């Protein structure tokens, strides 16, 4: 008898959990992530689901073989100090949904695949959805080979060290996928405000990551007169304030969540501040406008500070609309048990967005999160809601394979 949802969830609970914060550090190709991958393989073995590794770090477990498969699943990695649910909820729910379908006696007419995608958060190599980008050909192997983590470890070395045999590039499993349905914890309070347990997604907002390099002149913190300084920290600080204000007034999102300061000493004016902007906009045009305005204000301030600013787009993902036919089909399938399921946009990126942009008919299902918090230890879903999500996912899959 394979483990049920609650048993699987409690097995995962200690893996990568920080005793200090209660949050998770499940960075790709680390020893803890290897444990997660082994756990996934063991669970699939217990269900007699053969697992395929694609050389990009992604794992796919197959219930049935052939083409036109219904792909479900999500990712096992987390942001730095993240929650337990973002990612693993979709993977664990998919395995539990297969158990439920088997107990219902469903004999699928199409294969069902459960995916566990690599480096969805971009928390180690900086590029979100790295596994699905490589598998879909959205990112080239050549550019991925250039990726390094914060300690300078190249992606391929990290993969090899984790026992993942790298063979980067478009995956042939993509040609065997008919559609993708990713279940995810909600990362806002839409469902809780509506008192609904499950929802579906309409679209993903365009979003991107931009590196802001501010350079100035290192000097003594005591002996350098204030008017003689070229302090890149001041240029950055003003740019961060401008980003917050611009996003607020235009109804978009802008966040500087990561900063690297050189030489990072208390008694020296920094020579360089590198900060990463995560920006998201309602449309492709509004995202471009937002980033351009932040850059303009940062450049203007740098001019006044006698510092220099260089902005590099590290990744930009355009607007994604989920497949309306697939979404409507899932919605009508869910209507019997779940009523009129809300369909809501999301400002978060997902592997579902990458595969949708690559032409795979894709839909997303959300499970209520009472805190509305995500990318933080506070992220949460009630066990009863998780189990309801499993049932809804099983209902949706059953509709697609019957
Ligand atoms: O950052 C994101 O939007 C996603 O959660 N990976
Ligand atoms: Mn996330
Ligand atoms: Mn996620």
The Cβ of residue 21 has, within 10 Å, a number of other Cβ atoms equal to 11
2 pLDDT more than 90: no
The CA distance from 227 to 29, in Å, is 47
Give the atom of ligand 1 at the shortest distance from the alpha carbon of 347.
Answer: 3
- For residue 352, the CA-to-ligand 3 centroid distance in Å is 10
23 and 135 fall within a common domain: yes
pLDDT band, residue 52 (cuts 50/70/90): very high
Q: Over range 7-21, report the average pLDDT.
A: 98
Name the residue with tokens 């990290």.
158
Ligand nearest to the CA of 257: 1
Query: In the chain, pLDDT over 70 holds for what percent of residues?
Result: 100
| Residues around the ion ligand 2 (C-beta < 5 A) | 86
Q: Pick from 268, 300, 317: which residue ends a domain?
A: 317
Cα 307 to averaged position of ligand 3 atoms, centre (Å): 37
pLDDT average, residue stretch 102-107: 98
Which residues have a beta carbon within 5 Å of ligand 3, which is an ion?
86-87
Verify that 255 and 186 share a domain, yes or no: no
pLDDT at 25: 98
Token reading at 185: 């914890």
**Residue 184: both structure tokens together:** 């995810």
Among the bound ligands, name the one nearest to the CA of residue 348.
1
Among 317, 341, 360, identify where a domain stops: 317
Under 8 Å between Cβ of 391 and 100: yes
For residue 348, give the ligand 1 atom closest to its CA.
3
Please tell me whether residues 325 and 313 are part of one structural domain.
no
Across 346-375, average pLDDT:
98
**CATH code of the domain in which 147 resides:** 3.40.630.10
Structure tokens at 118: 């690599």
Predicted confidence band at 108 (pLDDT cuts at 50, 70, 90)? very high
pTM above 0.95, yes or no: yes
For a substitution probing ligand 1, which of 348, 354, 364, 366 has the most ligand atoms within 8 Å of its CB?
Answer: 348
Instruction: Determine the pLDDT at residue 58.
Output: 98
Geometric angle at alpha carbon 397, from 171 and 177, rounded to 5°: 20
Q: State the average pLDDT over residues 103-109.
A: 98
pLDDT at residue 242 in the model: 98
Task: State the pairing for strand pair 272-280/207-215.
Answer: antiparallel
- Domain span at 258: 207-317
Q: Which two tokens stand for residue 19?
A: 């005793």
Q: Do 222 and 352 lie in a common domain? A: no
CA of 280 to the centre of ligand 3 (A): 16
**pLDDT tens profile 264-318:** 999 999 999 999 999 999 999 999 999 999 999 999 999 999 999 999 999 999 9
CA of 185 to the centre of ligand 2 (A): 9
Q: Are residues 309 and 329 in the same domain?
A: no
Ligand 3 centroid–CA 141 distance in Å is 23
Residues 270 and 329 in one domain: no
Looking at the chain, the whole-number percentage of residues with pLDDT higher than 90 is 99
Same-domain pairing of 212 and 346: no
Please give the tally of structural domains in the chain. 2
Atom 4 of ligand 1: nearest residue by CA position? 349
Ligand nearest to the Cα of 74, by number: 3
196 and 263 assigned to the same domain: no
CATH number of residue 251's parent domain? 3.30.70.360
Query: Looking at residue 197, what DSSP letter applies?
Result: S
pLDDT at 1: 75
Query: Are residues 358 and 268 located together in one domain of the fold?
Result: no
Using CB distances shorter than 6 Å, the residues near ligand 1 are 120-121, 128, 348-349
pLDDT digits (tens, 9 = 90+) for 139-190: 999 999 999 999 999 999 999 999 999 999 999 999 999 999 999 999 999 9
- Amino acid 81: pLDDT: 98
Cα-to-centroid distance, 118 and ligand 2 (Å): 12
Q: What share of the chain is helix, strand, coil (3-state, %, to 5)?
A: 40, 25, 35
CB 65 within 8 A of CB 107: no
Look at residue 114 in the predicted model and tell me its pLDDT.
98
Domain boundary among 290, 317, 344: 317
CA-to-CA separations, 132 to 51, 66, 283, in angstroms, rounded = 17, 20, 23
Domain shared by 52 and 116, yes or no? yes
pLDDT of residue 3 exceeding 90, the answer is no
The pLDDT mean for the chain works out to 98
Same domain for 186 and 86, yes or no, is yes
Please give the backbone phi and psi of residue 316, each rounded to the nearest 5 degrees, phi first.
-135, 130
Closest alpha carbon to 117 in 163, 64, 149, 72 = 72
Same structural domain for residues 297 and 387?
A: no
């Amino acid at each position: 008898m394979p483990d049920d949802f609650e048993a699987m969830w409690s097995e995962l609970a200690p893996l990568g959990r920080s005793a200090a914060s209660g949050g998770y550090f499940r960075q790709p190709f680390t020893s803890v992530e290897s444990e997660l991958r082994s756990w996934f393989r063991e669970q699939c073995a217990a269900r007699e689901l053969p697992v395929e590794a694609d050389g990009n770090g992604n794992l796919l477990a197959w219930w049935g073989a052939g083409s036109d498969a219904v792909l479900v699943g999500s990712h096992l990695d987390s942001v730095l100090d993240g929650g337990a649910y973002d990612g693993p909820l979709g993977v664990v729910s998919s395995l539990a949904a297969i158990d439920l379908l088997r107990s219902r006696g469903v004999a699928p007419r199409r294969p069902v695949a459960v995916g566990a995608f690599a480096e969805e958060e971009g928390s180690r190599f900086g590029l979100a959805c790295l596994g699905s980008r490589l598998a879909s050909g959205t990112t080239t192997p050549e550019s991925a080979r250039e990726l390094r983590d914060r300690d300078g470890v190249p992606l391929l070395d990290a993969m090899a060290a984790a026992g993942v045999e790298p063979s980067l590039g478009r995956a042939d499993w993509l040609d065997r996928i008919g559609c993708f349905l990713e279940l995810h914890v909600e990362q806002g309070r839409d469902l809780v405000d509506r008192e609904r347990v499950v929802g579906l997604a309409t679209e993903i907002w365009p979003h991107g990551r931009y590196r802001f390099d501010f350079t100035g002149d290192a000097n003594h913190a005591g002996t350098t007169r204030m008017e003689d300084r070229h302090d890149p920290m001041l240029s950055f600080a003003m740019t961060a304030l401008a980003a917050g204000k611009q996003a607020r007034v235009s109804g978009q999102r802008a966040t500087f969540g990561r900063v690297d300061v050189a030489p990072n000493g208390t008694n020296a004016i920094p020579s360089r501040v590198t900060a990463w902007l995560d920006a998201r906009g309602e449309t492709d045009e509004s995202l471009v406008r937002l980033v351009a305005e932040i850059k303009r204000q940062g450049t203007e301030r740098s001019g006044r500070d006698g510092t220099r600013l260089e902005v590099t787009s590290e990744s930009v993902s355009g607007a994604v609309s989920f497949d309306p036919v697939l979404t409507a089909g899932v919605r009508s399938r869910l209507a019997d048990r779940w009523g009129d399921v809300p369909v809501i946009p999301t400002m978060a990126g997902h592997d579902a967005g990458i595969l949708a942009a690559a032409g795979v008919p894709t839909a997303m299902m959300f499970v209520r999160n009472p805190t509305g918090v995500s990318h933080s230890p506070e992220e949460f879903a009630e066990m009863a809601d998780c189990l309801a999500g499993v049932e809804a996912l099983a209902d949706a899959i059953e509709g697609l394979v019957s």
